[in-house]
Structure 1
């Protein structure tokens, strides 16, 4: 049996729910990685906002190696030191008093949605079960989380769907006010819609959500799976907007590439999930928590957060210049090192073509829907790497701009 694999191997052995690129990365260091042919790429994608410290960071390697020689897994019949240390640190750094560990953002949101439903049921009665979410939101790929997410394309073909979920326009205070009543158990919102196009929530909208939850005895849930862990210039985005949620979900960058997720909440709200009501075999795994602890130590260093601010400005300035020069995309938006560049009218629906052209020039970026380029590099990316990535992106857009849009269509 051959041990070699190629991109064709994917089509032969994997379920076809993904369409990965033709290249296969095999090694990474910092904000660069190399494919099977030894070609180098600048990483502006960060594994979709996951590799917050880049590839093969020494602090993560040291934490993983040390824990690998101790305990790998126990299950939640036993607790463990790395999980307790990480939970204590998260409560020290946030509004939260209680933590639930799991393996991903979807699982963190699943736990949050179960929590708010049970909280409403046990505290006020079975009628209090409505979850309000927003169009174009994304909260994960489980059946419950895709239903709370406001994108119909992710629920089509999976009917019948869970009920008790209502979707409203994002950033629409009047619609939110009109929808609130005593059946609502929670409002679920992303401080910046990620998959929905890198659209920030307005301060007025978040303040209104908080006030309406207080008025109608509902919980405010912030999905910070993508915006959290230093991505926006603070540990969590809520810390910059003057609004504190009752529940916060986090994953992605928390493990820096090692799978881990967490739901954070207050001691009072946490009472709604007593013994036996929810669980995760791998949640709080010693290996994952040890790595996440090392990541948290790094991303809370002031010098790293200063780098986020500086590199974000460098990236946005560079994208703004490229957009003005070549006309493929417009003024960038977002916060910190979570940046979106909406494509121009002539390139509507074709953001992926720009991503593919950039990859061919040796820089990896993402889309946030068909009309927005997304950038989520490592928080410790260097000035030189940002400059090089922008130079490679310029080569790509220069070639695309030279070809009439009708030819590319």
Structure 2
């Protein structure tokens, strides 16, 4: 019989005993969720502006997702890619019809989707008469995953340092600095990979000039432009894809996180010749594109596109930044360097070594969940269904925490 734990403390105690210690966890065991809120075993209610790290786009236990899970559990959960399944086709069709892409290749996570992009880029170069091209240029302070290749693609030494020697074939340029990309461009480069908005790198949106410059450079060199939209896709920025805010079309783009509303799924979206590159035998997966994950993805996309969720992300993001600016300028002008974001991925860069004290006080005093990234950036990635009242609660919590800290 599976043992049931009675209290928050009991779950944490057993978790520390049995779970591998590769994650730093808050002292909170989440029992259930509803909308933008989560609850622990002791009945405490928390406003969730972490959203499973940008996964719970529709919030917790959205009725359409619950219904989809119930119906899918009575049909089939897995059948492998030896066969077609309707949810995979439905999901791919929804993505293609609402984007610039022609084909969708499914994966099981964001890291796998980015691995797929890297493999695609290398094969594309060979298919087009350039076997010498194997290098992918990525950006400093980027984040692309935890597998060995995507860890190497990530432009952060902190992610690299324990796993050297790393795979070859990656170079790092300065984000939002087109000249730095050109400076490391040569005949061995097969693609450029970047996030339109750096998430783990401190919530840093790309400039229009940078993304357009990358597109022009890739066209000039005959190489692929690849976007990582694992965190910022699926409606997060007020568009289905973040790059749609810029009008710059990549050759390939990864998706994951919010696509499955909590069930792991990733995708590589491709257009043109890039959509013809990965042929049978060159890439695949046992679980990718399965009927369970894809049924949830199709439902998620349908709700986001047709029920105003993406537009709400745009409006609430503007409201968050506008209201936060007013509070910071009035009460904490010297503590904050910049407030930035796009849609409902927002960051406050502090003039302090770390934002963790604010995170801790929001959790302890206000039962508000936010997180700290890239050292001193408070990150807010709530469900896309949040409203003004919930945003006001978070702003008040941050304001009170900074006041208590004397900031």
Scaled to the shorter chain, the TM-score interval is over 0.9
Q: Which residue of 2 aligns with 1:3?
A: 4
Alpha-carbon separation, structure 2, partners of 1:285 and 1:306: 29
Q: Over residues 295-352 of structure 1, what are the superposed CA-to-partner deviations in whole Å (9 max), with x where a residue is unaligned?
A: 10111136323322221122112322332313443431010101000012xx22x212
Q: Which residue of 2 aligns with 1:329?
A: 336
Please, what TM-score do these two structures have when normalized by structure 2? 0.95
Q: CA deviation at 1:284?
A: 0.5
Matches within 5 A, 1:129-144: 129-144=134-149
Q: What secondary structure does 1:300 align onto?
A: helix
Pick closer, same or farther for the CA change 1:211–1:276 going to 2, 3 Å.
same
Q: Say if 1:323 and 1:331, in contact at 8 Å, map to a contact too.
A: no
Alpha-carbon separation, structure 1, partners of 2:256 and 2:241: 12
1:111 to 98, 104, 116: 116
Q: Over residues 180-206 of structure 1, what are the superposed CA-to-partner deviations in whole Å (9 max), with x where a residue is unaligned?
A: 233211000100111011111111111
Q: Say if 1:181 and 1:216, in contact at 8 Å, map to a contact too.
A: no
Q: Which residue of 2 aligns with 1:55?
A: 60
Segments of 5+ residues of structure 1 without an aligned counterpart are 403-409
Q: Say if 1:29 and 1:56, in contact at 8 Å, map to a contact too.
A: yes
Q: Which residue of 2 aligns with 1:13?
A: 18
Q: Which residue of 2 aligns with 1:298?
A: 303
Q: What secondary structure does 2:405 align onto?
A: helix
Q: Which moved more, 1:310-319 or 1:236-245?
A: 310-319
Q: Which residue of 1 aligns with 2:399?
A: 394
1:357 to 361, 366, 375: 361
Alpha-carbon separation, structure 2, partners of 1:109 and 1:397: 37
1:340 to 341, 347, 352: 347
2:254 to 249, 254, 273: 249
Q: Which consecutive aligned stretches of 4+ in structure 1 deviate over 4 angstroms post-superposition? A: none
Segments of 5+ residues of structure 2 without an aligned counterpart are none
Alpha-carbon separation, structure 1, partners of 2:26 and 2:335: 22
Please, what TM-score do these two structures have when normalized by structure 1? 0.94
Q: How many residues align?
A: 399
Q: Which residue of 2 aligns with 1:405?
A: none
Alpha-carbon separation, structure 1, partners of 2:175 and 2:383: 28
Q: Say if 2:144 and 2:150, in contact at 8 Å, map to a contact too.
A: yes
Q: CA deviation at 1:267?
A: 4.8
Q: Say if 1:323 and 1:330, in contact at 8 Å, map to a contact too.
A: no
1:73 to 50, 53, 78: 78
Q: Which residue of 2 aligns with 1:170?
A: 175
Q: What secondary structure does 1:374 align onto?
A: strand
